[in-house]
Amino acid sequence: MEENIFDSNIEILPNGIKLITVKRQTGMCSIHAGIKIGSLYEKSNEKGICHFIEHMLFKGTYSRTNEELNNDLEQRGGEYNAYTNYDSTVYSITALCEELEPSIELMADMLQNSNFPMEELEKERGVILSEIRTSKDDIEDYCFRRLHEIAFDKSPLRYDTLGDEGTVGSLTRKQLVDFYRAYYVPNNCVITIVSPYEHEAVIKLINENFKLWQEKDFKREKIIIEKNNECKEITYKKDIEQAAISYAFSFHNLNKEEELALRILNHKFGESSNSMLFRELREERGLAYDIYSDLDLTTNVKMLYIYTSVVSESVDEAIEAIKDCIDEIKNEVVKFDESTTELMKKVLKTAVTATLEDSTDLGNYILHQVLENVSIYEFVEDMKNLEKIEAKNIYEVARKVFENPSIHILLPEME
């Protein structure tokens, strides 16, 4: 794969918006707008505020009521969505290409002119509180929430992006509006647009719709970077049938080549449906239906997770089996030969190709690359660097990462 695999253009507009346009033969347009503010930047009395504001941007502007705004979004005939993560808040619209201009106008209105009507705010508070309670009922969500709480003492990673019932219940309209006005500024915004239109035409549309959005100075909270605690904690919960086990390993000391080796390792370890964890815990021992590992390579997160669910009587055996899999890699019992990196190249190329063929996925991918200050063609360099990864690199990164885990065990509470 080579750079310029897609026709892209990057512009920094007069008010500071970073705009990335991609021209491709497609009948669809995809718009993504990312504000570089997420739960990592929230103060202790603001937990959940980024997510709350994400909800409120769909609740009306100075020119549209809640109903009018959502009717106008619906009339585009496509999909509109938003999400909040640790590092950013993202809004998206995907529709037919002839809907590009009205879609941009709607996105501009939401980002610049949301008015946080009090009645809608209180309704949405109830919705978010319900969302938080629902996440507590989801065993996997609850297990990871507790894992983060025990893994960190000071890092914002210990808090869920949804916030908690106490903080969300007490956030005032003034707090929401002040936060919105502080961080929803053009020089803190990245927009990506994938469409069949010429770059100049799309740039003109963005300039026309965002010209009144004024650049402002802002300062994000300093992020606390913290190594996870080595610990094991048991939590009990009523009305569950199985136990759940989750692990967290943090790593902030790896370079890009080591992270690439970790991606190869993780695929073989627990990401694929033929992984070591899958074969050992499910196929060989019959302990679990679902077992996986997952990587978060976001700049300020850097985590590897393991999750499985087993009967309570098998918790110790499952933990021993996970340890055995880790030790086999660290002690170089498992062989990583040329076929391993060849497979990873196929996996990476498949993922890249799938992303390139979907306008929405492509726009979202580019958005996060730019928000992370990483080249939008990073995958090309990854493909080249895969050739350089040797088995010794994989063993070395395993020994760096698989150390001092945080382990959370969720057990059914006995009557």
DSSP 75-102: TT-SEEEEEE-SS-EEEEEEEEGGGHHH
First to last CA, the chain: 59
The CATH number covering residue 200 comes to: 3.30.830.10
Instruction: Write the pLDDT tens digit of every residue in 320-349.
Output: 999 999 999 999 999 888 888 788 888 888
User: Are residues 361 and 355 in contact, defined by beta-carbon separation less than 8 angstroms?
Assistant: yes
Does residue 221 lie in a domain region? no
Q: Looking at the structure, do residues 298 and 356 belong to the same domain, yes or no?
A: yes
Q: Looking at the structure, do residues 150 and 287 belong to the same domain, yes or no?
A: no
- Residue 305's nearest CA partner among 317, 315, 297, 293 is 293
Q: Looking at the structure, do residues 43 and 136 belong to the same domain, yes or no?
A: yes
Residue 373, exposed/middle/buried by CB under 10 A (0-12, 13-18, 19+)? exposed
User: Are residues 198 and 23 in contact, defined by beta-carbon separation less than 8 angstroms?
Assistant: yes
Task: Find the domain containing 66 and state its range.
Answer: 7-210
Number of structural domains the chain divides into: 2
Q: What is the pLDDT of residue 2?
A: 54
Q: Looking at the structure, do residues 24 and 159 belong to the same domain, yes or no?
A: yes
Q: Looking at the structure, do residues 204 and 243 belong to the same domain, yes or no?
A: no
Instruction: Write the pLDDT tens digit of every residue in 270-282.
Output: 999 889 999 999 9
Does residue 217 lie in a domain region? no
Does residue 219 lie in a domain region? no
Axis-axis angle for helices 359-371, 338-357 (nearest 10): 110
Quickly tell me which residue has 């055996």 as its tokens.
Answer: 317
Q: How many residues does the chain have?
A: 415
Instruction: Write the pLDDT tens digit of every residue in 94-146.
Output: 999 999 999 999 999 999 999 999 999 999 999 999 999 999 899 999 999 99
Does residue 2 lie in a domain region? no
Structure tokens, 65? 């009521």
